[in-house]
Chain A
Amino acid sequence: MSTLAVHDHGVVHHEDGHEHHHKATFLNTYVFSQDHKYIAKQFLVTGIIMAFIAMSLSILFRIQLAYPDKSFPFLETLLGHFAPGGRLSPDFYMSLVTIHGTIMVFFVLTAGLSGTFANLLIPLQIGARDMASPFVNMLSYWFFFIASLIMLSSFLVQKGPASGGWTIYPPLSALPKAMPGSGMGMTLWLISMTLFIASQLMGGINYISTVLNMRTKGMDLWKMPLTVWALFLTAVLGVLSFPVLVAGVVLLIFDRSFGTSFYLSDIVLGGVPQPYEGGSPILFQHLFWFLGHPEVYIVIMPAMGLSSEVLAVNSRKPIFGYHAMVYSLIGISVLSFIVWGHHMFVTGMNPFLGGVFMITTLIIAVPSAVKTFNWLATLWRGNIRFTPAMLFAIGMVSFFISGGLTGIFLGNAALDINLHDTYFVIAHFHLVMGSAAIFGMLAGVYHWFPKMYRRMMDERLGYLHFWLTFIGAYLVFFPMHFMGLDGVPRRYYAFTEFESMKRWLTVNVFVTWSAIMAGIAQLAFAFNFVYSIFWGKKTVQNPWNANTLEWTAPIEHIHGNWAGEIPTVYRWPYDYSKPGHDEDFIPQTVPFSQTMSSNLPHDFEDNPGGLEEYTKWTNAQKANEAVK
């Protein structure tokens, strides 16, 4: 053993100097760090900044929707030729909704969410020193960072950013002359997304490999916290679906720049017939949504995992139905690949095929409902601590229910004829994947902030942030259901031109002011976050009395996470309020031999030796009772 170790030590110095020299410089500690905990913080801060940018974009176009005929001189000062005379130009309005969607879906809720928590929690909760390949992990962040810069730089282009919607359907995205945003803006969008996908694949491959290969002693798959399960399955979804988006995007680039006609046919541009023949724009939709639907689960599943953990810890109860939770995550993951057609019901799809997609879509309601009921059952008669993280986790469940219910309507091929591309869809996905996912992420931020920054966030500002955001989000998105039912279409610049939609203007004003209120509430979070990093109350090692492995690591961050040997795991992560134990939590690292009074026969299902000891101990207890 020791010869082997010495031998490997030699290797380290010859070969992998860049990974193992512990000469800490400013650059490799604070910029190009390969430490998963630091990379997690980089992802989080970048994600938060992108979220604020995307939120500001939404407030800009909300102003347009509320006051389509009013001119706001500050808009011209702010946006220049994108808002001539203080009114957003229609093209720039399209750019705003496109970039808002792109940033929120990909840069905030995919990279910001999985990137942060997979990096922070996977190694810490499974008991690993770092990722399988810390170097690739670092590259993953920097590809993401460059992708973010390129995406934002499209605002500096004369004709504005991409404007064909975040789904970039051809022909608008395939013909540089189709609309102003289809030119340079679209090119930058494609470059940015290519780098983004590379970043996601590097990250995802690392996460999967780490979870499957580097768990500490005793940590079998069924002892992993639900966070790790969720982040692992999210990475699997990403690795399976992003390559298909690459295929779609590569063909799109060929159509844009090399004159092929994969997606283009019978195009007349400015009165001039174009030479493209025989392409099929529907082909792009198939390729896009084969990624696009798993993508919405890539967004929501980490939020589910984080919320499950936060709910169990703060209810002081085991998560209800741990196995069912894992199986429903797996079920959702599998089903997510066979439902993409429900985005395409109105593309002239064969109604029989539509029926098939409808059935697979509605089946997703089953695992989703299992999860929802399990969360509620976890809360039921729990000894609930309403920390800000807990409130956000409960908020996540609330949004998942209220947004999920409308999914049952939209998944129906017949109803979708009416509802497709209306505000009903906007309301649905902003609740179920927008608000729910961001609430899951915020729950995670409040809960694991002490692990990341060694300080606590302020609770009162947290409560303020929660209530304003929770109420604000419902006020913004709930009225949109009724607009959608009335047939108000999404992505329209102004509704004043349509007699039937004029009456919705007052609602739009209401929604806009709600959005502004919810937006301002985020400043409470931003202040709390930055202030607490530097001046927050110092944390103790296990501030929430949680069971999982990350809280056994020292408060001070060290490379390799644990100073000595990595702790061994003996039990599942949800032994909260176990009867017979003197505390209401038993960390995963406590062996059963130290908790004789609280052990139960089913703790020893696959451990006959332990069961024997347990029986001996209970018999001895009974004998003692008899003597008394």
Chain B
Amino acid sequence: MMAQIQQEDKLNLGAKKFSMWIFIFTSVLLFSGFISAFIVYSGGRGHALQVIMPEAFRYSTFVIIFSSVTLHLASKAAKTLQIGKQRMYLWFTIILGVAFFAIQIYAWYVLAFKMQIFFSNPNASRSFIYVFSGVHLAHVIAGLLVLLNAVFATYRNIPQVRNIFKMEMASIFWHFLDIMWICLYVFLLLNQN
């Protein structure tokens, strides 16, 4: 019995979930760092952005919102023990995540080659478009790994507690990425003049 109590103590699923929230918090601070840098830079020196955002960003926004919906469906399926359905929706989410990634890269292509808005730019406000989306993409890679971890877990016969835990971790992180991108995109739209 004693050993089992110890094992329970060591799993600490609640504490680990809490750690994920703190991590989200640090990410928010990272992006706030960039956003305040943008504000200080473009406000302080009169460097307006003056870039109309490429259409692709709008599509990618729809895609990542849609991926949040499928992830929510996967969580619902997991809670009702419909493992097949959960797996399917998770794969949908991952595919949409990859699509989001691809569209962002395409948006960079449009920015650089069609609109001649380069990363290395005398007006660093414009470089910030790449910084915002690039750092967000780095997070998306991590998010995809978390999702893959959750989907692979469904192929092994793990207890429901662990399955729900993995789904919750993935959901917190992925929905955060969704919301963060919307914030960044809206911020860029508001500042595009």
Contacts and interface: CB of A to CB of B under 8 A. Distances in A.
A131 to B, nearest CB: 9
A262 B124 contact: yes
A242 to B, nearest CB: 8
A532 interface: no
Given A240-B29, A251-B131, A565-B5, A11 B22 contact: no
Contacts of B32: 244
Contacts of A240: 26, 29
B33 A239 contact: no
Interface stretch (B36-44, B57-65, B103-111, B170-178): B36-44
A16 B25 CA distance: 27
A260 B119 contact: yes
Contact of A129 (B10, B16, B41): B10
Contacts of A280: 40-41, 44-45
A619 B8 CA distance: 45
B72 interface: no
Nearest to A564: B2
A262 B119 CA distance: 11
B47 interface: yes
B127 A260 contact: yes
A20 B123 CA distance: 54
A588 B47 CA distance: 60
A251 B124 CA distance: 10
A247 B33 contact: yes
Interface string B118-158: 01111110010001000100000000000000000000111
A209 B37 contact: no
Interface string A227-262: 000000000000110111011101100100011111
Given A20-B7, A243-B30, A278-B47, A262 B120 contact: no
Interface in B17-71: 18-19, 22-23, 25-27, 29-30, 32-34, 36-37, 40-41, 44-45, 47
A208 B157 CA distance: 32
Contacts of A287: 33, 37
Contacts of A250: 131, 135
A239 B25 contact: yes
A276 interface: yes
B190 interface: no
A279 B42 CA distance: 10
Contact of A283 (B19, B41, B131, B158): B41
B6 A129 contact: yes
Contact of A246 (B12, B33, B40, B157): B33
Given A132-B19, A209-B16, A278 B161 contact: no
Given A130-B10, A243-B30, A565-B5, A208 B22 contact: yes
Contact of B119 (A7, A258, A277): A258
B102 to A, nearest CB: 22
A369 B180 CA distance: 41
A31 to B, nearest CB: 21
Contacts of B131: 250-251, 254
Contacts of A205: 19, 22-23, 26
A124 to B, nearest CB: 14
Given A250-B135, A262-B127, A201 B10 contact: no
A242 B22 CA distance: 13
Given A260-B120, A280-B44, A8 B11 contact: yes
A276 B122 CA distance: 6
A213 B12 contact: yes
A212 B18 CA distance: 9
A8 B33 contact: no
Q: Which of B1, B6, B27, B33 has the most CB of A within 10 A?
A: B33
Contacts of A156: none
Interface residues of B, number: 49
Contact of A244 (B15, B29, B45): B29
A238 to B, nearest CB: 9
B128 to A, nearest CB: 8
B121 A261 contact: yes
A376 B131 CA distance: 51
Interface residues of A, number: 62
A246 B15 contact: no
B124 A7 contact: no
A248 B33 contact: yes
A14 interface: yes
B160 to A, nearest CB: 10
Given A244-B29, A283-B40, A9 B4 contact: yes
A399 B33 CA distance: 34
Contact of B30 (A2, A247, A259, A261): A247
Interface string A1-33: 010111111111011100110000000000000
B159 A7 contact: yes
Interface in A248-293: 248, 250-251, 254, 258-262, 275-280, 282-283, 286-287, 290
B122 A277 contact: yes
Given A129-B6, A206-B19, A244-B30, A251 B37 contact: yes
A563 to B, nearest CB: 9
A486 B27 CA distance: 45
The listed residue with most B CB atoms (<10 A of its CB), out of A14, A209, A244, A261, is A209
Interface centre among A9, A240, A279 (most CB of B within 10 A): A279
Nearest to A286: B40
Given A205-B19, A243-B33, A280-B44, A12 B7 contact: yes
Contact of A243 (B6, B26, B157): B26
A335 interface: no
Nearest to A279: B124
Q: Of residues A7, A128, A214, A243, which shows the largest number of chain B Cβ atoms within 10 Å of its Cβ?
A: A243
Interface in A269-322: 275-280, 282-283, 286-287, 290
A489 interface: no
Contacts of A261: 120-122, 124, 127
Contacts of B18: 132, 209, 212-213
25 contacts: A2-B4, A4-B8, A6-B4, A7-B159, A7-B161, A8-B4, A8-B161, A11-B11, A11-B161, A12-B11, A129-B6, A129-B9, A205-B23, A208-B19, A213-B12, A214-B15, A239-B22, A240-B29, A242-B26, A247-B37, A277-B123, A278-B123, A279-B124, A560-B10, A564-B2
Interface of A: 2, 4-12, 14-16, 19-20, 128-130, 132-134, 136, 201, 205-206, 208-210, 212-214, 239-240, 242-244, 246-248, 250-251, 254, 258-262, 275-280, 282-283, 286-287, 290, 560, 564-566
Given A261-B122, A280-B41, A283-B40, 15 more contacts: A2-B1, A8-B7, A9-B3, A129-B9, A132-B12, A209-B18, A243-B29, A244-B29, A247-B34, A250-B131, A251-B37, A275-B122, A276-B122, A286-B37, A566-B9
